[in-house]
Amino acid sequence: MARADVRFEEAERARRKSRNRKLVVGFFLFLGVVIALESPITRVRQIVVEGNRGIPSASVVAHSGLSKGMSLWQVNARSVSRDLAHSLVLVESASVHTDWWSGKVLIRVAEKHVVAVYMANGRFYNLLNDGDVYTSTTPTTAVSFPLITASNDHPALGSTVSPAVSLLCEQIAHLPLLDLQNVSELHVSHDGDADVYFNNGFVAEGPIGHLSVLLPKMRQAIAYFAGKGFSPGFIDMTGGPPYRYSPFGTSRNTQQGG
């Protein structure tokens, strides 16, 4: 046999051995993956919910799509977070963490919360910090939160009253309730500003998007005009200082100060 033929056969045998080794290694790798997927070690053995106060843990688990015994490989954190935010109105956000060693899946929930009450047609509705209409409520419970009114008198549960009311709720969420104790009502005007009614009879108007910063300044302006002996009236704070004061029943440009 020629030397070239011998070398060719040797090369062919080497290639067949290499191919066979790869097939064997591939088979055992595939077998290992199957065993790993089916092993109890890679199964969800515990589901823990943290951060929830108003939502029962069982409800969070039920809407997460997770269950004990399912493969840890099937836990999709992004999908679980999205499903919880869409299916549970009180869920503002949710994060999911998987511990492969213990088989524990941790769902950490950030909840929305009631920040104000909306009054329309003699009825009262709890508003969440993103402006969603959560539940109807009673006048007795309503006094625990700031009261909001607006021109839209047809709120629907699970929806928003208006973008302006939603923005107002977001601003209120940044304020301590103590800062709103002397406020009797917040009215969303047609031009998108907020008229803030105080218990001492004064009314101050300012941009909704700046309410959390403006509210302390409103109290200072009221103290200034009251200290000058002015009776309760309207204070226009839609622009910068000096702020305009006008008695009720007159044009809103009588006095400046504050």
Structural fold of domain 41-111: Ubiquitin-like (UB roll) (3.10.20)
pLDDT of residue 31: 47
Interval 117-156: pLDDT, tens: 999 888 999 999 999 999 999 888 777 889 999 876 678 8
Kindly state the percentage of the chain with pLDDT values over 90: 55
Residue 156 CA to residue 123 CA, distance in Å, equals 12
Q: Using CB atoms within 10 A of its CB, is residue 127 exposed (0-12), middle (13-18) or buried (19+)?
A: buried
Looking at domain 137-257, its CATH class is: alpha beta
Domain span(s) for CATH 3.40.50 in the chain: 137-257
Residue 125 CA to residue 161 CA, distance in Å, equals 10
Interval 30-70: pLDDT, tens: 445 545 555 556 788 999 999 998 899 999 999 999 999 89
pTM score, whole prediction: 0.72
Instruction: Report the DSSP pairing between strands 147-149 and 183-188.
Output: parallel
Residues 6+ apart with CB under 8 A from 100: 42, 72
pLDDT of residue 225: 94
Residue with tokens 């009720």: 248
Q: What are phi and psi of 137, to 5 degrees?
A: -145, -175
Joined together, the tokens standing for residue 91 give 């869920």
Interval 113-127: pLDDT, tens: 999 999 988 899 999
Mean pLDDT of the 233-249 span: 90
Mean pLDDT value across the chain: 84
pLDDT of residue 38: 55
Domain span(s) for CATH 3.10.20.310 in the chain: 41-111
Residues 6+ apart with CB under 8 A from 192: 164, 207, 208
Helix axes 57-64, 77-87, angle to 10 degrees: 120
